[in-house]
Amino acid sequence: MGRVVAAAVYSAGRKVTTINIDEGAEWARKPGHFVWIGLEEPNAEELANLQRQFGLHELAIEDALEKHSRPKLETFGDALFIVTYSPVRHEGKLEFIETHIFAGNGYIITCRNGHSKSYALVRQRCEARPLLLEHGEDFVLYALLDFVTENYQPVSEAIHGEIEELEQSVLSNSLQEEDIQRLHSLRRDILRLRRYVAPMVEVSEELQRLSFPFIDKNMRPYFRDVQIHVTRQMEDLAGIRDIASQTIEIGMLLEASRQSITQRKFAAWAAILAFPTAIAGIYGMNFQNMPELGWHYGYFAVLGVIGLGCSGLYYSFKRSGWL
């Protein structure tokens, strides 16, 4: 069973009264009035009731009962059906809440299918601007779309902040497997945000072109404003996605550099140890005619040569940055 969040009548930029959902059509037919109904998770019976009252197209009702993969706008005669998505992020998990908007002469109906940010704030904003609300249904439609677009900003900023923290971690510490997994997950969330926000450009462009009785030509710049916001949001998401990709690449390069330094140190110490090993190997051969064997100071001379040779190699590698 769905829930009626709010249902009210507006005229001349002012709220006239709160109504029962069954009274909507009667008020919508009055000149200079329009009804704004907000529902949460309506069922088929409730949508059928709205269809009978406002003459909603049966294909629009069928669309409202389905789940969609992306935002879209459909026209049915002199009425509109719009699918929008609001992002919700809880404990690092990103979800998208689908909202259906029916708009026509004398009515605006929103059906929210999930627990996203409430549209009560949109009502408050609209009721606080009576001169604009006087435009009627088209201004409410703009306010709803603008609100949906705004919801993407805090989510993208939160993801951006997490990526910057991971970037600092990668720069100061060695790259961990969980860092790569988290960056990949955040990058995937960014791509999902772009997938849902990009079609809003087409929706706002169509609203600027369409000619409907309830859409005033003077409202078209407002829909262009939505388009500008969406375009900027897409640019921001593209930048965040690039930062995530570059963070992974930088992390891999730094890890390769750290491994290279370690390998060089091992190679340098192996070369230093190879020098006394080679000398010891020579004197470990079982030959009788070796002149140094009979020399009284031969042992000390060999130790001196080993010490000088190892010291020379050590300082040589130190100067070249291998140690």
* Per-residue pLDDT at 62: 87
Show contacts of 172-179: CB within 8 Å, 24+ apart. 174/254, 174/255, 174/258, 175/251, 175/252, 175/254, 175/255, 179/251
Among the residue ranges 86-95, 125-134, 206-215, 302-311, the one predicted with the least confidence is 302-311
- With b for 16 or more beta-carbon neighbours within 10 A and e for fewer, the 140-151 pattern comes to bbbbbbbbbbeb
Mean pLDDT for 121-125 is 90
More confident residue, 198 or 174: 198
Q: How far is CA 195 from CA 184, 217, 226, 233, in A?
A: 17, 30, 17, 12
Q: What is the pLDDT of residues 184-198, one digit of tens each?
A: 888 899 999 999 998
pLDDT at residue 175 greater than cutoff 70: no
Interatomic CA distance for residues 62 and 267, integer angstroms:
71
Residue-level pLDDT at 294: 65
Residue scoring higher pLDDT (307 or 232): 232
Model confidence pLDDT, tens digit, residues 251-284: 777 666 666 666 777 777 777 777 777 777 776 6
Element (H, E) at 270: helix 220-283
Compute the Cα dihedral for 217, 218, 219, 223 and give only its sign: positive
The reported pTM is 0.76
- Give the per-residue pLDDT at 24: 87
Structure tokens belonging to residue 200:
């809003």
* Bridge partners for 99 per DSSP: 84, 112
- Identify which has the larger pLDDT, 285 or 42: 42
